[in-house]
Structure 1
Amino acid sequence: MDFGRKSRPGLPDWHEVSAAIRYVTGDKPGDHLVTRWTRALAQLHRTRRVSPERVDEIDRRRVELVALINQWVATHLAPPRADADAVGPVADALVAAYVDAESLLMARDEVTGEILHSAWSQVGYLATQWADLVAAVVDGQPCPPGRC
């Protein structure tokens, strides 16, 4: 799936990250490594919900993936930007929020509309934070105050 990625090295936009969380992308040759790792984070967050006995193992793997994302940014995007080390943690937070909202959506008879709305609003907030962070790290645009 081509999301209009620029030919120069960059980070996937929030559409690509969202697609990876939903298993639409991130598993094919040529997919951006960050989308592959985001997809893996989504699988780990989903597994964490159904296998609480594996939380320690899963969280260790999440830490590794966050570090891989940050290492990719440090290696492929030059010069290094001030917020580059935030990319992995923001990806993990976005995935976590999406999986939480998805879980609430599946249990919609048991949760209020207000709770569901709040959960998806958090996903939207983090998607915006991702977009701001990509602009800061890739293009050198400063993040709005309090957003990155």
Structure 2
Amino acid sequence: MRITSRREPAMFVRDRALPATGGTARSLPDQRELVAAFGSRGGDPNAEHPLIGWARKLAILHRQRRGNPLAAAGIDCRRAELVAAIDTWVATQLPRRSCTEHLRTGSLGATVDRMAAAHAHASYLLHTAEKVSDVRVHAAWYRLASLADEWTDLIVGAVRKA
């Protein structure tokens, strides 16, 4: 009998770099926690990380936007408020954030919003595609994985230089 090891999905492999940052990376959720939040319906708001709650709300807003395009303006305003809340929280928790200024992402809040949008889109395609093997489904999940890697790069950089 041959035993093979089970590989983690590619989007989660880079998380192993976080413990090497001296333990302070826990001040920001890792990519696994964010991706899980995008698909969840809620948890204990008193026990979870604030970014997890905001990430969940962003994903809900992206799903609502897809279902009700006429409400897009109001939804986009709420998304902007949540992105600002994330950026404000990060600025108070990691005040020396110059380490991420060289990256083209703009802000951690904007990165979470892009991840939430990518997750909502990938989930929609997964549930509506004729075949799960559709190239569009794969491309959408690959996009989410790329953004998750970007998140990891951002938080590892923020923790190292903070």
TM-score bracket for the superposition, by shorter chain length? 0.7 to 0.9
**1:106 pairs with 127, 144, 162, which one?**
127
**1:52, 1:104 → 2: CA distance?**
17
| Alpha-carbon distance between aligned partners in 1 of 2:144 and 2:25, rounded to the nearest angstrom | 28
Runs of 4+ in 1 over 6 A off after TM superposition: none
**1:53-103 CA distance string (max 9 Å, x none):** 110000000001001000001001132334275100100001101100100
Does the CA contact (< 8 Å) of 1:83 and 1:137 recur in 2? Answer: yes
Q: Given the superposition, is the C-alpha separation of residues 25 and 83 from structure 1 closer, same or farther in structure 2, using an over 3 Å criterion? A: farther
Distance 1:37 1:26, change over 3 A: farther
Is 1:37 aligned to 2:54, yes or no?
Answer: yes
Length, aligned pairs only: 138
Q: 2:113 corresponds to which residue?
A: 92
Aligned residues of 1:13 and 1:131 also touching (Cα < 8 A): yes
Where does residue 52 of structure 1 map in the other structure?
69
In the alignment, does 2:94 pair up with 1:73?
no
TM-aligned CA deviation for residue 110 of structure 1: 7.0
Does structure 1 retain, via aligned residues, the 8 Å contact 2:54–2:82? yes
2:100 to 83, 87, 96: 83
**Rg larger in 1 or in 2?**
2
Which sits farther off after the overlay, 22-31 or 52-61?
Answer: 22-31
Q: Secondary structure at the match of 1:109?
A: coil
Q: Which amino acid aligns with 1:39?
A: R
- TM superposition shift of 1:10: 1.5
- Matched residue, 1:146: none
| TM-score, structure 1 normalization | 0.83
Aligned partner of 1:11: which letter? L
SS at the partner of 1:53? helix
Structure 1 unmatched ranges of 5 or more: 142-148
Residues 8-50 of structure 1: per-residue CA shift (max 9 Å, x gap): 7611000110111011665431211011100010110010011
State whether structure 2 residue 133 is matched by structure 1 residue 116. no
Compare relative contact order (CA 8 Å, sep 6+) and give the higher one, 1 or 2. 2
Partner residue in 1 for 2:28? 11
CA distance in 1, matches of 2:116, 2:95: 26
Equivalents in 2 of 1:7, 1:29: separation in Å? 21
Give the residue type in structure 1 aligned to 2:91: A
Give the unaligned 5+ runs of structure 2: 1-18
